[in-house]
């Protein structure tokens, strides 16, 4: 049923698709139109069985999963980081389009449910943003995403267990070893809440999985504090 107030609001401020700018149907709660949503690049082709990196030529594991120690159990994403989803995530992260948290968390939650990860999960934890970045940006987009996901799958959200301990130096220009060290020093577990992690299955939320190094460092810390399983979910996975 079309509510009169919504109808009036629609004519005054028609809701437009955050992706293509076309007017959205009256009374919709979404911010991305159906055609745009359908056209986003799905990560459903050949990919690494552990980290979901698209592998055009097939194969079980990507280079990183074959050659480095991976602490998370699996990482999955509904989309590949390219085209329209890249643009949407960018405007969610840097242009204050916080309302996209709901739209972007829906396909992520659908994948969690499809994989039965919702049943396994004991707690939802977002990858933290350093407080200086949070302060300058005003919000942690990953925490917003995690809050939506926690509501949909009805599992508790813990934002204060995994912490960003120091301002990460830009990763650019560092070699692989230094990059890892730089990352490792920038996360920590809040000792006050560490006991919560014993034997728990964690669903770790990230926005974009680029190298997976961040997810891996977080997973390492969570497991060393007693977590049983760390499943990582992000909106999109970058290609090689």
Interface residue list for Zn ion (CB under 5 A): 17, 19-20, 33, 36, 48, 50-51, 53, 62, 65
Among residues 32 and 129, whose Cβ is nearest to Zn ion? Answer: 32
Minimal distance, residue 134 CB to Zn ion, in Å: 29
Among residues 53 and 123, whose Cβ is nearest to Zn ion? Answer: 53
Q: If DSSP codes are grouped into helix, strand and coil, which group holds residue 167?
A: coil
Task: Answer whether 237's CB lies under 8 Å from 80's CB.
Answer: yes
What is the length of the chain? 240
Task: Answer whether 76's CB lies under 8 Å from 44's CB.
Answer: no
Among residues 62 and 127, whose Cβ is nearest to Zn ion? Answer: 62
Minimal distance, residue 91 CB to Zn ion, in Å: 13
Minimal distance, residue 185 CB to Zn ion, in Å: 24
Minimal distance, residue 121 CB to Zn ion, in Å: 21
Using alpha carbons, select from 19, 57, 69, 62 the residue that is nearest to residue 39. Answer: 19
Helix-helix angle 176-184:213-224, to 10 degrees: 50
Helix, strand, coil % (nearest 5) of the chain? 40, 15, 45
Among residues 117 and 158, whose Cβ is nearest to Zn ion? Answer: 117
Task: Answer whether 127's CB lies under 8 Å from 218's CB.
Answer: yes
Among residues 28 and 165, whose Cβ is nearest to Zn ion? Answer: 28
Minimal distance, residue 165 CB to Zn ion, in Å: 27
215: left (phi over 0), alpha (psi -120 to 50) or beta: alpha
Q: How far is CA 120 from CA 112, 167, 231, in A?
A: 10, 33, 9
Among residues 60 and 178, whose Cβ is nearest to Zn ion? Answer: 60
Q: What are the backbone dihedrals phi and psi of residue 67, each rounded to the nearest 5 degrees, phi first?
A: -110, -10
Minimal distance, residue 167 CB to Zn ion, in Å: 28
Minimal distance, residue 29 CB to Zn ion, in Å: 15
Using alpha carbons, select from 134, 141, 43 the residue that is nearest to residue 100. Answer: 141
Among residues 76 and 164, whose Cβ is nearest to Zn ion? Answer: 76
* Distance between CA atoms of residues 103 and 32, nearest Å: 7
């Amino acid at each position: 049923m079309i509510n009169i107030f919504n109808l009036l609001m629609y004519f005054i401020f028609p809701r437009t698709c955050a992706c293509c700018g076309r007017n959205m149907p009256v009374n919709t709660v979404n911010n991305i139109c159906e055609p745009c949503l359908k056209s986003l690049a799905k990560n459903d082709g050949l990919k690494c069985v552990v980290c979901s990196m698209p592998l055009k030529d097939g194969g079980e594991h990507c280079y990183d999963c074959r050659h480095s120690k991976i602490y998370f159990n699996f990482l999955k994403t509904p989309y590949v980081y390219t085209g329209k989803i890249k643009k949407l995530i960018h405007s969610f992260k840097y242009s204050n389009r916080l309302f996209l948290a709901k739209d972007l968390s829906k396909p992520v939650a659908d994948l969690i449910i499809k994989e039965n990860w919702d049943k396994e999960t004991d707690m939802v934890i977002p990858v933290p943003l350093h407080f200086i970045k949070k302060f300058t940006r005003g919000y942690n987009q990953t925490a917003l995403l995690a809050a939506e996901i926690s509501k949909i799958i009805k599992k508790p959200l813990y934002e204060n267990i995994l912490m960003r301990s120091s301002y990460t130096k830009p990763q650019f220009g560092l070699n692989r070893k230094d990059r890892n060290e730089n990352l490792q020093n920038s996360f920590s577990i809040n000792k006050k809440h560490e006991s919560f992690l014993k034997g728990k299955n964690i669903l770790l939320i990230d926005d974009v999985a680029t190298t997976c190094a961040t997810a891996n460092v977080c997973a390492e810390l969570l497991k060393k504090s007693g977590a049983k399983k760390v499943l990582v979910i992000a909106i999109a996975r970058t290609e090689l």
